[in-house]
Amino acid sequence: MNTLRTFVLLAALTAIFLAAGWLVAGEGGLLIAFVLALGMNLFSYWNADKIVLRMYHAREVDQNTAPQFHGIVAQLAENASLPMPKVYIIDNDQPNAFATGRNPENAAVAATTGLLRRLSSQEVAGVMAHELAHVKNRDTLTMTITATIAGAISMLANFAMFAGLFGGNNRDNPLGGMGALLVALLAPLAAMLVQMGISRTREYAADRAGAEICGQPLWLASALDKIAGAAKSHENRVAEKNPATAHMFIINPLSGKHFGSLFSTHPATSERVARLEALAREWGKTGSGGGNRPASPWG
């Protein structure tokens, strides 16, 4: 059901882009938007992960340059029966993390220096288990495509604003300047709402699957509780400039100071923590132990 819902929401996001193209330039705009949507999806499939990692200035690390963090990811990947992903660190004081890649064989996980500094090894394990759950569920491709289309809608909205103010008499535009202004005002909002739906659907599933991977729901619950507040007090400037990527992170990286940050792409942290605590009680994992798991770098 979650997969079907995600597919429907992705289709809705594409439909918003196509409708925006039609409102700006009529049938010609619809055709251009359709071709662009196909091209962007293909491009995203092969390259979006590299673009996002480069955008956030992520640096790849290994067992020599970041032995503890790399070891945690390696153990979790083994627990999840996943290929070892590439591991990255982002020099940013905001505690956060994300996963990307078109499939488990070409996946990458990234964490900020702020997250690694503030969290215990067990909490880091809970966060990275969540990110590997996204990889295992193949959410990473969905999230990168979503970011690409949402970013394109934002660019089209900016163009529409210009067209509405200075080129509203285009005869190919079915609603004239009003159509362009509608795109400028409503398309980003509609795209944001769809992003919220996609992210919230996938985050709850990844929280549960991540708890299964590390064996202890309370590790992630503690991490979410700790980083949610800290994330708000430390600005992520790259995310603020590229809000279409916000849904990729485990916690919303946007400060809420700008219009694009008014609607959260993530479920309420309190609800996520409550669900994980309920899961811990269901499993009888009320302590900090990780159950019958292999020896691990987090103790």
Active site (catalytic) residues: 131
Q: Collect all residues with Cβ–Cβ distance below 8 Å to 13 and sequence separation of at least 6.
A: 146, 149, 150, 153, 191, 194, 195, 198
User: Within its chain, how far is the Cα of 209 from the centroid?
Assistant: 16
CA gap 299, 287 in Å, rounded: 14
How far from 100 is each of 2, 86, 172, CA to CA, in Å?
A: 19, 10, 39
| 57 annotated ligand-binding residue | no
Show the beta-strand stretches assigned E in the chain: 59-61, 86-90, 97-101, 107-112
Smallest CA-to-CA distance from 280 within 226, 205, 227, 207 is with 207
Q: Is 282 annotated as a binding residue?
A: no
Please name the residues in contact with 246: beta carbons below 8 A apart, sequence gap of 6 or more.
195, 239, 252, 253, 254, 261, 265
Longest CA pairwise span in the chain (Å): 69
- 130 among the known binding-site residues? yes
In contact, 212 and 281? CB cutoff 8 Å: no
298 phi/psi in degrees, rounded to 5: -95, 0
CB atoms within 10 A of CB 185: 13
Q: Which residues are annotated as a binding site for Zn(2+)?
A: 130, 134, 203
